[in-house]
Structure formats: C-alpha cells, structure tokens
Amino acid sequence: MKKTLLLLIGILCSWLSASAQTEEDFERVNNEAFDAYEAYDYRTAINKEHILLKWLKKPKLKNDTNEVVVYLNLGGFYQSYQDYDSAHLCLEKSRKLCEEYFGKKNEYYVNIVLQLGGFYEAIELLDEAETINADAIRQINAGATEDEWLMGAIYSNQAIVKKKLFKLKEALDLLEKSEILTIKASGRKSTDYANLLNTKSLVYGIMGEAKKEEKLLLEAMAICRELKATKASLYGTLLNNLATMYSERGDYEQAIRSYEESYRIRVSIYTEKSLECALVQANEGVALADAGKYDQGITMVKSAQRITESLLGKFHPEWFEKAMHLGNIYEKAGMFEEADRLYEVSMRDAGENLGKTSGTYLGLVSNASLYYMNRDQYDKASACFDILLAGEEFVSEDFALTLKGNYANFLHTTGRSEDAGKYYDEVIKGWAEFKGPTSYDYLLAKHNKATYLLDLGDLAEAKALFIETRNTLEEVAGSKTELVLMLNENLAGLYKDEKQYLQALVLFQKVLAIRMLEAPNGKSMEVADLLSKVASCYTSLDQPHRALENLENSYAMKVSLVGRDDPSLSYETTLLATSYTYSGDYKKGLSYYSEAKRLITGQFNTYFRFMTEKEKLQFLTKTISELKQLQAIAVDNVKEYPAFGDLALEIELMMKGMVLESGDRIKNAVVASKDPQLQRQYSAWQDLRTQMAVEMAKPEKYRRSDLESLNNKAVDMEKGLVSKLGSLELLDMETHSWKNIQKKLGKEEVLVEFISYKSFRQEKEMLTAIVLRSDAPNPILVPLFAEEKMAAYLQNRKSGNEQGLVNSLYGANRGVDEVNEDVVPDEGDDSLYLLLWKPLEVHLKGMNKVYYSPSGSVHKIAVAALRDEEGKYLSERFSLHTLSTAKKLLDPSKGFVMDDLLLMGGVDYDLAPSIIAKKVNPEQGDESPEFAMRGGNGAKAWSYLGGTKTEVEAIAKLVTTGKTTVTTSVGEQAYEEQVKKQMLAGPSVIHLSTHGYFIAEPQRALTPNANVYQQSGNPLLRSGLILAGGNASWTGQELPGGIDDGILTAFEVSTMDLSQTRLAVLSACQTGLGDIQGSEGVFGLQRAFKQAGVEYIVMSLWQVPDKETVEFMTLFYENLAKGIAIEVAFNTAQQTMREKYPPYYWAAFVLVR
C-alpha cells in the first residue's frame, strides 16, 4: 500500500513581472493552469504552462526568474500526468537555468532541488535523489539560505530517500535535524511539524517499532485536530498511514475504521470521484479482504477501479493496479476461477493497449507468475517467466533483479536447484552493485539464498549466511525490522534441525517477545505461530507441560483472531493432539484429533470445488501430511486407547481415492443435471482430453504446435465445469463413516483396510491393517511391518537366483513363446503370509467373507495365493473380495445382467499401417508416412498370442447361447479406432485379451532407443494395451497420417466415458501394475478404467501363460453366463483352477471393485 508523503510543489510567486501581453494575462493563464491541475485536468494545465513558455521567448518579455519557475511547474504537472520523461527534462531544465542565471548558493536552487529530489525519490531513482539532496545540503551548509522551513524540508526529503535505501539510522539522524529546524520555523503546533512526525513514523514502522510508529501518528493527528485541520489533506494522509499500520499488524477492524474516516475527509476536500478517494477505497478493500470480508473488499476495490477508469481511462496503469488488488483478493478468497480470468484478461488488455514491453504489462505478468506458482500451475508460471526474461531489456534494473529472484525461487520449487543457485548468486551480486551491500533488497536476496541452502540441507553454509545477513541488518536498521525477525526465526528453525533445541528455544523466544510487544494487545497470527514453535522446542526438550501451555495459548489466540473454522488451526490442533496423546491424556488428544480432521476436511471441501484433477492431486500431496500424522499417532497409541482405531479408519476412508471419487461425483452430477448445455460442455472437455492423450503419445517434435494452447483450453473447460458444480459436497464424512460401513457387514463378513503411514516412534514407513467386524465395538488396529522389510524381502528373493519373488512363488511368464517348465514354484514359502496375514488371524475367527482394500506394497501381492501354516491358501479359507476403497460397500447393490459383451483377441500386431489407414478412411488414397513414431527401433516387437483368439472364441460360444449380444474384434479388426468405438458404445462387459505393458520407471537415461511410452514421466502413458498394428509404432516404424498408433494407453482410457460398462476384463500381462501414489492407489490401467466409470475390473499382477489364461477366463464366463454374480463367478473360477495348478497359473488375476 502506498503511504502518501506531502511534497513541496513549486508555484509562481510574486516574482512575476511584466512578462506577457500584460502582467495580468500572465497571471490569469498561470491561475488557469493551476485550476486545471487541481481538477486533475493535467493535460490542460501542461498546455497553459507551454503558452507561458512561448510568451517568455519574446525578447522584450523574457524574464529569467519566470522561465525557471515555469519549467519547475511544468515538471510537477508532467509528474502528476505520469509522463516521467518530460517531467525529468523540465525539472532538470529548471535546475540548470537557475544555476546558469543565479548559481547554486541561493534559495531558488534549494527550492528546485527540493522538488527534483522528490521526483527522483518518487520514481525510485534513489541514487540520483540521494546525490541531488546531498548537493542541496552542501549549499545550505555554505549559506545558500537561512529559511529554516526550507532547510528542514531538504533534510526530511533526504531522510525519505535514506529510508528507501534502508539506511534507517541515517534517516533518523536527518529527521532529528529536520525536527529542530521545523520547530524553529513553524512550532510544534503546526501542520509542518505534524508532517515531519508522519515521515518519522514511517521510518520507525520499517524498523519494527510499531508502538513508536503509532504514537507519532496519533500525535500528528492530535496536532491537526487542535489546529482544526481535520479536513486538510495531511490529516487524511495520517489516517491512511495509521490504517496501513493497523492492517500490517493484523488489527483489521482498527484499519477499516481509519480508512473510513480518511475517506470521509478526502471526500470533503476533493470529491467522491477523485484519485485520492479511489486510493483510500482500494486500501480499505484490501483490509476488508484481509479481515475475511471478501465480498465487501471486492465491492470496494471495484468502486476504486471505476473511479480510476472515469478519470484516467480503462487501461491506465492505475486502473491495472486496482485489478491486481482484485486478483490478490480472489486468490485469498479461493475464487480461483475469477482470479484466473482476471489475470488472463488483464495481461491481454495491457499487452494490446500499452504494449508488451510496457512496465504495466510486464508487472502484470510478474504478478501472474507468482499467482500461478502459489496455485502449483507451474506450466503457466513457466510461460510467464519466459515472457519476463525475454522482456528484461525493457524494464528497470531493480525490476529485473526482482524478477530474477522470483525466477530463482521458481527453479528451486520445481526441482532445478542447481540453476536456482546460479540465479540467487546473480541477484545478490546485482543488488550489491545497484543499491549497495546494506540495502534491503541485497540483504533480502542473501536471506533467500540462505533459505535455499537450508532446503538443500547445507546447514553450515545456511547458518553462516543467516548470521552474517542478520548482523548487517541490525547494524543499519536495528533488531526489530521484519527481515531481522524472519532471519532469526529461520535461524532458530535451523538450530532445531541440528537438534540444538535450547539455542532454538532462546531465539524463538527472543522473536516472540518482540512480536508480542508490537502486536495489538500482544496478539497476532505471527505471535500464535511462534508460540507453537516454542512449544515444539519444549517437546524436544522433554518438557511436555510447558509445551502444552504454549500450544493452548497459541490455539486460543488464533481462535480469538480468526474463529474456530479457520484452516490454519489444523496445525495447532494436530500438535495439541500429538502432545496430549504422548503425555498420556488420550481422551483430550482424541478430541483435538477429531477437531483437526474436521478442519482439514473443510479445506478439501472448500478448495476441491474449484480445482482441476491435477490441482487436486497437488493440493492433496501438500495437505495430506497432517492427516497422515494424525493417523500415524493414532496407530502408535491404539493399544493404550482403542478409540484411536475409529480415527485411523475414518481418516483412511476420507483419504483413499479422494481425487478419483471427486471426479466421479462431477461426472454423475453432470448426468443427473439433465442440463443439455452442461452435458455438451462435459463431452467437449472429454473430447479435448482424448486429443491430448493422442498427442502426448507422439514424440515431442511431432506433436501439434498448439499443444500448450490445447492443454490450457482443456484446463479452462474443466474449471468451468467444476465451477458450475461447485455446490457438490465432496467429502460426506457422515455417510462414509465406519459405523455405516459396519452396518453393511454380515455376521460372517469382515473388512480389512490396509493403511500406509510413517510411524513417529519408529520413524519408518509402516503398514498396518484395520479390521472391522460387525460384532466389534470399534475398529481393531493390527500393526504389521515396516515397508522396508517387505522391500528387503523382495530384493533378497531376487538375489537368490530364483527369478525374483513373483517367479519363485508363482512360476514362469506369460507373453513369451514358451513357458520354462524347469522353474518350479516354491510352494513351501509362507513368509508373505507371516508378514501380512498371520497377525490378522485372531480377529478373523468365525469369518467367511473378507473384504480387503490394499495400500502400499499390498497392491503388488496376490493375497489369494498366500498359504497359512497348514498349507491352505487364503482363497480356500475365505471368500476374498478386493475393494479400491471400503466406501464401495456403501454403494447401492445392483443386479448384473450381461446384456452385451465386447470381445477382443487374436490381435494382429504386425498389421500394416497402410491397411489400417484404408479401413479408417476407405475413400483416401495411398499416403506417404507422416512421421517416424516413438523415437527409435530399440523396443522389441510384440509376438502373436494365439491363445487369445481361442479365448475369445470360447467365451463367445459360451455366451451366445443366451440373451447376450456379442461383438468381436479379432485379428486385423482389432485396430484402435474400431476397438475404441466399440468400447464407447457402452457394452455391459468389455473383454480385452492381448499384450499389456507397464514400464515401472521412465527409461530415458537407461535405454537410448526407448520409445515414447518407455520414456514418459506420466504413468498413464507407461501403461497400456497393444492393439492391431501396434508393432509399427512400438518399434519406430513410419505411420501414415490420420490413424491411431495401435497402442491404447491408460491415459486414453481415462478420457473415455465407460460408465455403462459394469465389468472390464483385461486379459493381459501386468495390467494391475502402475505407480503407487499414496492414498490415490495405483496409477495405470486400473486407475484409467476406474476413472472411465467401470465398476469391476479384472487385471493381472504378472505375466501368465496363454493356455491357463484361456482356461481361467472360460471358467469365469461360464459362471457369468449362468447368472452368477461377478465376484462369486470370479472366486469360483479361481477355486477350480486352484485345484489343478500352482498359484502362478491362477493367482495373477485380481478382481477389484
């Protein structure tokens, strides 16, 4: 916010002599100029002064004094008109003429320097301002004037410059001199003295001396009231500065009252439609927003913007400044759609009307880059930084350095730390050269570099830089400036990381004492945060009672400031829950856990309404840590307080599949809306996503040139959809409570919910099971093992020359020409059972049906194939049902009728692309290849799977005898365009029998000739199915234009609407694998088909021989054809296979609901 300072504006004095047609004409035109100026008609004022200049050029009318003064006035008018180049020329002309006619040692010269120095300060040419003011002070010391007021004004102006250069102690020394002179000239009961107190208050404000700042402002206001000058501009300025001070301290109610009074005064001096009133309105709007009154704040800023538009035009820089205020408020209010639109439109309008090299346009782009960074929209932020870096030559040096500092932060945030370090060093060097080694900007750049080093774990260098920067700051600006407090707070955090808890505590308490002293009534959000940090030190020092005392104070303070529903309280409530739990007060700990969960749930429901899927995943990654902390501590302490089991399960129910579920809700809401326009918008968005999926599968150099624009359009369409459906309650915790799930369980049914978390006690990633029985009063937590133990077990099996854990347990591979019958499964290995299942047995007594929802490493395990200590498979003892989330038990049950079935198999992977092109476009002639796909020939071609044709033919024969309509795609008919069309027709069952692939890690560095799928960082591209003609693209052959590539990626499937399909059978290798991404589960074909809307998915965990796959699938469909439910049909088929074969031949397939 801008704090207004009163500056002397030179005017024509009684020096006027017979200089025009007559002296009266000269005086009349000059008065007209000032009348226009006061009416904000700056152009007319400037024109009038130019008339005077023309008159002064007539030899007989020439007057040296008038010429000096007219140029001085013109400089002031041009400055107000924001034509700074012309203002500079006129003011310098006035100074040089004065020096030429009268020399420097005179009052004229000092008066001109007063205005010229103020001009330089206003446009941030601080070195020039400091130099010219110093020259004036030298002339004063040489006896140029004895005018005490003028001398005091020069000292005051120089103090303002020193303040901006962060030479705060020098600024105070100059203000002391100015104060003595001002008192002599005008007395303590004068507006001049009140103005000086205002300037002095600003310096103390930066030094962190809020009490002194407030005292000086109130003293200055008292002087104005005593002088009955409350309607003067100065009083409004004092009120504005006081309001700004209150706002910065977080005392928004006081700030708003001060802004309102300032506004009333300015209306009485000017009019409601004045720039002065618009400035106050904008500042009050920001304060209202800071106080959480977003609607009022938006209304106020929009009013200020309308006034600015009426006076200066819609695309004036001041108008865009108000737009930025609105953007900041929209962001704070979570009105992201409005903020996105505002930044997009503002940048476009500024670029078109002011030019893409204008400071206003580049300033808007800079603000947008920071907004997009805050929103984790790094692609858009990157585009903004590209514009800014390309336009560096058009901006001032300080803007360029600020830009590079922001870019360094962006690089560091996006993982390019080495490049970030180079920019941090360049910025530090730049500020040292531009403003000096004691300037605020230089010291802030060093602070940012130290924070960067801290993030990299370079504690020693970070500490040295923090201390060095802090010591310099304290020397030039004292120990209470905001930057000193930030440095000390970061340094204290560093000490805590080094486990120097006592040093950390002392420094946190030092900062806390200063903030409490300066905060209104000792309360602020900063004070509350520091109390929490002090508490964490006491916890580390094993002083739990002091820790709890500080935490309770922090929580109570925040509640008093922002209310109980503010999201920031989740941090304090989590800490309180932790502290009370570990101090043994489990009941109180649990109550705070519940409160923390409520607050975090509120955050998700607030923000998810306006986010795209990508933004939801990023937000979840950031926010989930607090939930996982709650869950971890609940598990660690469940033995002492069983009720913690309730909390652990409810958190898992809340988190698991949260983003996927929110997408389903949007899709269902669109369908249920019966709004044709909304449904068309949804379909158009899905079509656009499909185009994106196709383009992303191409080598980068062959993708559409407008791919980024296409992506932005898709993002905008998605935001439009979620905005229209913003009233959806995404996390219905009451409906999805564990008690409601328990009601769905039969007498012999049990739920096992696996959870992954990091244990506080063991400091390891752990796996635990939560068992829910219909006859148990609470969920039962069963700790299992550290994930590293499972990883070591898997690695040891591989290193034992047994072809890895999977091969040793389950046999040879599917998808190769021959099965190696010499590799005998180790049927005596029960280690996985001991790790994963035996600890659960005591809680499964009397149970027949087990629902289980995997997490972490459980996603990779064929639970059905685990055998107990008596050698029985779990699938022999229990009816096992795999759930993506336990919430699926709450879905209404639907009967299953296999009305229509799509069967695909016997795929001709070597089908020539030219044949596919003729099938897709029968009227099109031969066409030359468009490009070489996939970047190389390194990928091995897929071999024909004869068993898949046998499989689909056998299934077709089984089901066509009933009422099921069967569609088949076999051989060359199984090309991608055809198969996707058949899938989108909505058959109740889709059966795809082919090769599947999942690439565990991007192979960019490992395999030079790897294709796009193997190289992609997107797990939905590294997972897919091979269709007819797929070998051409997979191995890098050339394809004609206008056809698909024969690779159906998970990304493409995720963009399809398969909500009419109840069951998808992926009879292919590794279709159940993918990247495991926390609570969202497996990202691969499994997620893609879920996202597309399929309820049940059959998939595989490893490669299975053709012959046994055909047999398994035939049994499965034979059961379905009899009208048996999907889950029962699957388990029955598995049971039949189990009686004939070892697990390798039947346990790979998993049915997930």
Residue-by-residue DSSP string for 927-950: --EEEEGGG-S-SPPPPP-HHHHH
Q: Which two tokens stand for residue 594?
A: 């519940």
pLDDT of res. 475: 86
873 DSSP 8-state letter: B
pLDDT tens for 194-234 read 999 999 999 988 888 888 888 999 999 999 999 988 877 78
Output the CA angle 226-231-235, nearest 5 degrees. 70
Q: Report the alpha-carbon distance of residue 1143 to residue 876 in Å, rounded.
A: 12
Q: Which CATH number fits domain 899-926+934-998+1016-1034+1044-1152: 3.40.1440.10, 3.40.50.1460, 3.20.190.10, 3.40.50.300?
A: 3.40.50.1460
Residue 798, φ and ψ in degrees, nearest 5 = -65, -40
* Single-letter residue type at 1063: L
- Phi/psi at 43 (nearest 5 deg)? -65, -45
Structure tokens at 1089: 């088909």
423 pLDDT tier (thresholds 50, 70, 90): very high
Q: Is there a contact between 994 and 970 (Cβ–Cβ < 8 Å)?
A: no
Query: What tokens does 916 get?
Result: 């596919």
The rounded distance, in Å, linking the Cα atoms of 1015 and 1146 is 32
DSSP state of 892: P
More confident site: 478 or 1039: 478
pLDDT digits (tens, 9 = 90+) for 265-291: 888 888 888 888 898 899 999 988 888
Q: Mind listing the pLDDT tens digit for each residue in 825-870?
A: 344 344 678 888 889 999 999 889 898 888 777 877 888 888 888 8
Closest CA to 494 of 537, 532, 531: 537
pLDDT, tens only, 330-350? 888 878 878 888 999 999 999
Nearest to 170 by CA among 219, 125, 207, 144: 207
Amino acid at 61: L
| Residue 267: strand, helix, or coil | helix
1146: left (phi over 0), alpha (psi -120 to 50) or beta: alpha
- For residue 1125, which of 1113, 1134, 1116 has the smallest C-alpha distance? 1116
> Model-level pTM?
0.64
Residue 679 has pLDDT above 90, yes or no: no
Measured CA angle at 719 (ends 713, 722), to 5 deg: 145
Higher pLDDT, 1134 or 697: 1134
Residue 528: closest CA among 573, 593, 577, 592: 573
What is the per-residue pLDDT for 569? 82
CA gap 213, 951 in Å, rounded: 84
Is beta strand 929-932 parallel, antiparallel or unpaired with respect to 1063-1067?
A: unpaired
Q: Which residue has the tokens 């791919």?
A: 707
Given a contact cutoff of 8 angstroms between Cβ atoms, the answer to whether 488 and 514 are in contact is no
pLDDT of residue 5: 25
69 CB-near residues (< 8 Å, 6+ apart): 10, 11, 12, 13, 15, 94
Give the number of C-alpha atoms closer than 13 A to the C-alpha of residue 1013, restricted to the C-beta side. 32
Q: Which two tokens stand for residue 66?
A: 């008038």
**pLDDT single digits (tens) 391-412:** 888 888 888 899 999 999 988 8
Per-residue H/E/C for 1081-1146: CEEEHHHHHHHHCCCEEEEECCCCCHHHHHHHHHHHHHHHHCCCCHHHHHHHHHHHHHCCCCHHHC
Tokens 């910065």 belong to 248
Closest CA to 371 of 415, 401, 341, 350: 341
Rounded to whole angstroms, the Cα distance separating 448 from 457 reads 14
Rounded CA separation 1081/360 (Å): 46
List the domain boundaries for the chain.
Answer: 19-103, 136-229, 397-496, 499-563, 662-724, 738-889, 899-926+934-998+1016-1034+1044-1152
Is 70 exceeded by the pLDDT of residue 380? yes
Helices and strands counted in the chain (H then E): 47, 18
Parallel, antiparallel or unpaired: strands 929-932 and 780-786: unpaired
Domains 19-103 and 397-496 share a fold: yes
Would you say the C-alpha torsion 1037, 1042, 1046, 1048 has a positive or negative sign? positive
Compare 13 and 250 and report the one with higher pLDDT.
250
Q: Which amino acid is at 128?
A: E
Burial of 583-620, coded b for 16+ CB within 10 Å and e otherwise, reads eebbebbbebbbbbbebbbebbbebbbbbbbebbbbbb
Which residue, 616, 680, 665, is CA-closest to 336? Answer: 616
Judged by DSSP in three states, 987 sits in coil
Instruction: Between 19 and 573, name the one with better pLDDT.
Output: 573
Q: Could you tell me the pLDDT band of residue 183, with boundaries at 50, 70 and 90?
A: very high
Q: What is the pLDDT of residues 581-622, one digit of tens each?
A: 877 888 888 888 888 877 777 766 666 655 666 666 666 666
> How is domain 136-229 classified at the CATH fold level?
1.25.40
The two tokens of residue 1045 are: 């590539």
Q: Mean pLDDT check: name the lowest of 279-293, 492-506, 858-872, 1015-1029.
A: 1015-1029
Q: Give the residue among 1059, 924, 938, 1077 at the shortest CA–CA distance from 1004.
A: 938
* pLDDT band per the 50, 70, 90 thresholds, residue 819: very low
Q: Which two tokens stand for residue 371?
A: 């907004």
For residue 1128, give Cα distances in angstroms to 192, 891, 1063.
Answer: 91, 18, 14
For residues 741 and 886, is the Cβ–Cβ distance under 8 A? Answer: yes
CATH class of this structure's domain 397-496: mainly alpha
Task: Sort strands 1149-1152 and 1096-1100 into parallel, antiparallel or unpaired.
Answer: antiparallel
What does the DSSP 8-state code read for residue 976? Answer: H
**Strand residue runs (E) in 700-831:** 749-758, 765-773, 780-786
Listed in sequence order, the DSSP H helices in 519-585 are: 525-540, 544-562, 569-582
What secondary structure letter does DSSP report for 273? Answer: T
Say whether pLDDT at 681 is over 80: no
Alpha-carbon radius of gyration of the chain: 37
pLDDT tens per residue across span 904-934 = 888 888 877 767 666 666 655 544 333 322 2
Q: Is the dihedral of CA 915, 1110, 854, 807 positive or negative?
A: negative
User: Count of residues for the chain?
Assistant: 1153
pLDDT of residue 802: 32
- C-alpha separations of 772 from 61, 254, 289, 752 in Å: 102, 54, 46, 7
Domain spanning 19-103: CATH superfamily: Tetratricopeptide repeat domain (1.25.40.10)
Q: What is the pLDDT of residue 103?
A: 87
Residues 1041 and 658: their CA atoms lie apart, in Å, by: 39
In 3D space, the residue among 114, 121, 115 whose CA is nearest the CA of residue 145 turns out to be: 114
Residue type, 356: K
pLDDT at position 762 is 63
Strand pairing report for 996-998 and 1023-1026: antiparallel
Residue 723 burial class via C-beta count within 10 angstroms: exposed 0-12, middle 13-18, buried 19 and up:
middle
DSSP 1028-1044: TTHHHHHTT-EEETTS-
